[in-house]
Amino acid sequence: MSDLDDRLLAAHTRGDRAALVTLYCEAAETAQEDEARYFYLTHAYVNALEGDHPQAPALRARLVAAGRESA
C-alpha cells in the first residue's frame, strides 16, 4: 500500500479534499479487514463533509448500512 500511502500524504500536504475522498475510498476498497475498511471510509466521509463533496451522502449511507454511523 506504499504508493497509496504516498498519494494520501501528498493530498494531505496539498489540502486536496476531493483527492482525499477518492484515495480514502480506494484504501477502503483494498482493506483486508472491516476495521480498516470503515476507518478509511470514515476518513473519506469526513473529508467529503469538509469539502462539500457530492459523495458525502453516499458515504454516510454506507457507514449507516454497516452500523458505523447512526441513522
Residue 40 has a pLDDT of 98
Calculate the alpha carbon distances from 15 to 8, 19, 35, 70 in Å: 10, 9, 25, 28
pTM (two decimals): 0.93
Q: 39-64: per-residue pLDDT in tens?
A: 999 999 999 999 999 999 999 999 99
Calculate the alpha carbon distances from 17 to 6, 32, 33, 47, 50 in Å: 15, 24, 25, 6, 8
> Quick one: average pLDDT of 4-21?
98
Residue 71 has a pLDDT of 80
- What is the Cα–Cα distance from 42 to 56, expressed in whole angstroms? 10
- What is the Cα–Cα distance from 3 to 57, expressed in whole angstroms? 28
Does the pLDDT value for residue 1 go beyond 80? Answer: no
